Every structure is written in C-alpha cells, then in structure tokens.
Structure 1
Amino acid sequence: MTLRIQLVYRGAPQELLLDGSASVAELRSAAATELAVPLANLKLLPRRGLRLDASDSRSLSDLGVADAERIVALGPRAEELEREHAAEEEKRRREAPRNYHPSMLRGTKPRSTATAAPPPPFASIVPHPQTAPDSPQGQRVLAVLHRLAADSGVVHVCRLHDFTVGILTELLPHENPELLGLNENAGQRISLRIRTDDGVGFRSYLDVRRVLLHELAHNHVSGHPRAFKVLNSQLNAELEAYERAGKEGTRTLIEGEAYEPAAAPDAGPATSHVLGGATAGGKDRREVVLEATMRRLEAAEREIERGCGGQ
C-alpha cells in the first residue's frame, strides 16, 4: 500500500509517496532528500499522539501513519548552512590576530594585557528567510530578538551556565501553530514564536523570554526529563532573583560588571541589599528565593513544554 505523506515545510505542502512498509528512518531520508535539508538537521513534527522515532523499526502503517498524513518538517537547507558557515569563517578570519614581519614591529608598544570582555552569548540575530527585514513587521520582530539578546537578565543567566547560541531567529506561526520554540543542535540555532497565530499581533515579551530560557536549557539537556525540569526552573528563578536584586540596588555580575536598574514608575528609593545571607529558618536567602520561584513557575512551564520542539 502506498502512503501519500503531506510534508509541510515553511508553510508549503509537498507530497511524498512511500510504501506503507517503509520505516521512520526511510521516511526521514526521503524527506531530507526532497527538501534538501541535511538529515542531521531535519526535525519531523507529526500530529499529536503519533511518534516518529528514527530508532523504531516498525513500518509506517504499523505506527498508525495514515494516507494523506500531514507532517511538519523543520530545519535549515544545506545551502543556508553553507552560507552561515562561510559567514562564520569570514568573521573568524577578520578577527584573527595578524602576523607581522619583525621589521614592522620595531618601535611599537605592547598592547595592554587586560582581560577582554567575554563575547556575547548570541552570535548572530537574523530574520526568518520568509520575512523581509526592512518591512515594518520584520523590523519589529528584529527589535524583539535584539531586545532578548541584550536583556541583562538573560545575559546574566547565559554567563552563569556558559550558554551560547549561534543564531537567534523567529519561528513563524504557520510553520506549526502549536510550537512556541525550537532549539536545534544544542544551541546552533534557537527559533522563537514572536508573533501571534494570525501573524499580525505580537506575543508578550515576558512570555517569549520565558520560552527562550526553556530553549536555552536544551543546550545542556535533551528532551524533558526530570533533570531538564530542574534546570529550567533554576534558570527562571535565577533571572527573577537577579531582577529583584536589581530593583533593590546596584548588583555586581560574575564578570565584575555592574547592573544599573532603570527607574520604574512605581519603584521606591533604591536601597543597598546583599543577595544571600541567612534567613530566620537558617536557609540562605538565595535558596529561599529560588525555591519559591520554582514553585510559582511550574504551571507556566507545563504550558511552554507542550509548545517546545526541543529534543
């Protein structure tokens, strides 16, 4: 029996014909060839309740794949990866130290050996290939992405856990309405839903930022086991503790930089407060804050997990 698979890639449907006895691995291979997406970067998102595990040797028919089954495919094309790699190589070449002949160095003074500032956690921020960056919508999307990358709380969490992201970009609503975020290859690319389902409105900044923290946790933990839930709750708690400390006074980051909070309309006079210290119960104040925040964020995290494409 021949199955017609409706493969949806970047909003455009493509029909794939496969025998019902084919395996998931054969489906992935055929989809990768059809879409020109490297197999290692291809992610297939079937309907809810249908699992397509490449290690499962059962046939597509036995797994419950129906004729005209709709499967969403995600992943960068090979030529897109080549362009990104070429751009990265060019950037490294430009930033690499130059080699000078000794005769050119006579009379020069040595440079300062002061420690250079660490590179930003997000290497590049790019619009979705289907979004014109100079359009009004494209400019608003880029503004949100740049705001996320420069968010002092997000940067603080990235520094604490050595998170780095190659590309931060948008995940379009029509690619998969149920998906809120996607982390590919442990931080090579993170895609976030910036706009609402109609493609016109914009989601709450704090909601998008919470999804970003969720996807950053996938840099260290694949899937959603207990270890992932603990790490993700810790990231949210650390960011909230950082911002709370910022409202109470200037905080010093691990790198030695100072965080100066912007004045808020309802904020009282700034006070000096040391983060940490013992509480009446004997616990460190940081522990109390983290535990309370973790409990409060559990419900919100369950909703984000349902819309996560990370593995």
Structure 2
Amino acid sequence: MSMNLTVSHRGQSYQLALLPDDTLAILQAKLEELTSTPPPLQKLLYKGKSNKALDDQITLTQAGLKDGMKVQMLGTTTKELDGMKAVENEQQKRERIMKERASKAPTKLRSTGSSASNDINYRFHKLVPLAHLPEPSSALNLLQRLSDDPAIRHIMQKHKFTVGILTELAPHEHPELLGLNENAGQQIKLRLRTDRYDGFRTYKEVRRVLCHELTHNVWGDHDNNFKELNSLLNREVAEYESSVQAGTNVLGYSGEVFEGPTTQLDAPQVLGGGGSGASSLVADSMEDRRRRALEAAERRLRLEEEEMENSCGTAGRSSVTK
C-alpha cells in the first residue's frame, strides 16, 4: 500500500507516492530531484513536527507521516547557497576594507571627541540570514542595509550600542513575534519576511522594530524607562533623516561634523528686499513645518510602539538571561 504525500515548497506543490517503510532519506532524495534543495538544507514541517531532530534512516511511518498528509518544506537550493556564499564573501571583503581604513588616521574637519575605534565597536559585528529560508541572499542584503543605515549607525554611536549578531526570525517558528533581543545585545532577531514567505516586510517597519530591540540593550521590561529611551531613539532617527533631507549639518555616526562651504545661495532668497526680517520669516516657516512633521511622526510612532510591544519577545527576563 502506497503513501501519498503533498509537499509544498516556494508556492509549488509536489505529489509523491512512497511506501510506508521508505526512509526519510528516500523522501529527501526525491525532493532534491524536484527542488534542487540538498537533504541537509531541507526542513519538513507537518502536524506540528519537523524532521530536523529525526534520523534520516527511520521510516516515514516512524517519522509520523501518514497517507494524504500535507507537508511544507523549507530550504535553500544549491544555486541560492552559492549566491549567498558570494554575498558573504563580499561582506567579509567589505569588513576587511573598513578595518583597514579604520586603522589609518582619518582626515577630520572638526571632531566632537569620538575616535575611529568607536565606529568598529558600536555596530553589528555579524549579520546572519537563515540559510534554510527562501532567498537568504536577499535577507542578508536587508540586514546589511540596516547595518549600514546612517541613522541607525548614528544612534548606535551616540548611545554606545553594540550588537554581536543581527539575524532574522522565522515566521513559522515565532509567529507571534516581530523581534527579540537576547542577552542585552548579544543577538537581535528581526522578522524580515511576510507570514507566507512570499516577500519581505517593508524596510521602515523592520527598522522600527530594530530601534525597539536596541532599546532592550539597556532596559528589559516595557516600563517607563524603556518607553522614554525608545521614543528618544525613534525621534533621533527622524531628526537625523530630517536634517539630511533639509541639507543642514548633521552629526554623523563617526562622531565628525562635516560642514560644506557656505555660499550666498545657501541663504533664503526673498524678492523685494534683503531685510533680515523677511529672511527670518522664511526660516521660521521652514522650521515650523519641520517641527510639526516631527511631532506628527512622534504621535504615530507612539501608537505603533504600543502595538509593537505585544509582538516583542524581549520583555522581562529574555533580554538579560536568554
């Protein structure tokens, strides 16, 4: 009597007919032929179980598989794995170049007291996508974008945040969580993907969760201390980007203030006269608009943060003892 299984992978369904006494190794070999996913990278999910803790020489029946059962397979193809290795090699090359640059004395226009070594210490020291999930190279690119984000690097420098590993949460493993901070910065996990694995969440959503989890480097519980620091981080990110968009001088993550040349075109131009009063009115109007935009953003962030707290796995002991 044959055993019929339906295996789903990357939106494709495969109908397999096997014998109950066939081993998991036989099933995985057939799946490799169909999906180009090597057996060591295959993760089979069915009825609350997974094959990862099982010996591949046990039978399908012993593994808990039954006729007509639906199985979801997660895994990276050989081609994707090669692409991920290429991206990792490029990342290692970039880190090597950055370390070489940091070892040399930088040219500064004006320093606020931070040393070049801070740029090495206050950062994400390792980026780790989950190799068994789809498109690990795309996940690594998203983690790299977060790591290189000037506003994020700015607040990490300012508050002296260090994170050992920045990685991702698998939706099926932690469906209720958007983020997790282990041991106050030893490792931060973020939900990068949609629930159906058909894409990635928006960059701003993921970055907002990252600010939340960075706050857990200092405070474990979602108390008033946590809320004040988290609001401050979100406000500093918004102010940093607002300053960049406005073309004003900003404090960079390296602790240096880079000042561009000042010309007559930099000042507000007012038709009908060069009185200082007219110029200040224009400046005040721009500043008022910027202030109102920041206040509106803060209100929106507060509401979003309340919702985010319910999806954070770091509150209480997890931030300091996991």
TM-score (norm 1): 0.53
Shift of 1:116: 2.9
Contact kept? 2:244, 2:250, Cα under 8 Å: no
| Root-mean-square deviation (Å) | 3.9
Structure 1, unaligned stretches of length 5 or more?
A: 1-9, 16-33, 35-90, 96-110, 261-269, 274-278
Q: Which residue pairs with 2:206 in the alignment?
A: 208
Structure with max Cα Rg: 2
Shift of 1:213: 0.3
Identity %: 44
* 1:241-290 Cα shifts (integer Å, max 9, x gaps): 11001011143316115499xxxxxxxxx9679xxxxx98xxx9999876
Contact kept? 2:243, 2:250, Cα under 8 Å: no
Residues 271 and 203 of structure 1: is their aligned pair in 2 closer, same or farther, counting only changes over 3 Å?
A: farther
Contact kept? 1:250, 1:272, Cα under 8 Å: no
TM-score (norm 2): 0.51
Q: Which residue pairs with 1:143 in the alignment?
A: 141
Contact kept? 1:168, 1:190, Cα under 8 Å: yes
Q: Which residue pairs with 2:126 in the alignment?
A: 124
Contact kept? 2:179, 2:312, Cα under 8 Å: yes
Contact kept? 1:248, 1:271, Cα under 8 Å: no
Amino acid at match of 1:186: A
Amino acid at match of 1:188: Q
Which one of 168, 171, 192 corresponds to residue 169 of structure 2? 171
Q: Could you tell me how far apart the structure 2 residues matched to 1:249 and 1:303 are?
A: 33
Q: Which residue pairs with 2:230 in the alignment?
A: 232
Q: Could you tell me how far apart the structure 2 residues matched to 1:257 and 1:123 are?
A: 25
Are residue 220 (structure 1) and residue 224 (structure 2) matched?
A: no
Q: Could you tell me how far apart the structure 2 residues matched to 1:300 and 1:180 are?
A: 13
SS of match in other structure, 1:252:
coil
Q: Which residue pairs with 2:309 in the alignment?
A: 305
Q: Could you tell me how far apart the structure 2 residues matched to 1:180 and 1:293 are?
A: 21
Aligned 1:64-83 pairs, distance under 5 A = none
SS of match in other structure, 1:173:
coil
Residues 244 and 287 of structure 1: is their aligned pair in 2 closer, same or farther, counting only changes over 3 Å?
A: closer
Contact kept? 1:145, 1:168, Cα under 8 Å: yes
Contact kept? 1:250, 1:258, Cα under 8 Å: no
Shift of 1:175: 0.9
Q: Could you tell me how far apart the structure 1 residues matched to 2:193 and 2:238 are?
A: 24
Q: Which residue pairs with 2:251 in the alignment?
A: 253
Contact kept? 1:122, 1:165, Cα under 8 Å: yes
Contact kept? 2:190, 2:209, Cα under 8 Å: yes
Structure 2, unaligned stretches of length 5 or more?
A: 1-43, 54-94, 108-114, 269-282, 316-322
Contact kept? 2:220, 2:226, Cα under 8 Å: yes
Q: Give structure 1 regions of 4+ aligned residues with deviation exceeding 4 angstroms.
A: 10-15, 111-115, 270-273, 284-292
Greater relative CO, 1 or 2 (CA 8 Å, sep 6+): 2
Amino acid at match of 2:256: G
Give the number of the structure whose residues are more often helix, by fraction. 2
Q: Which residue pairs with 1:198 in the alignment?
A: 196
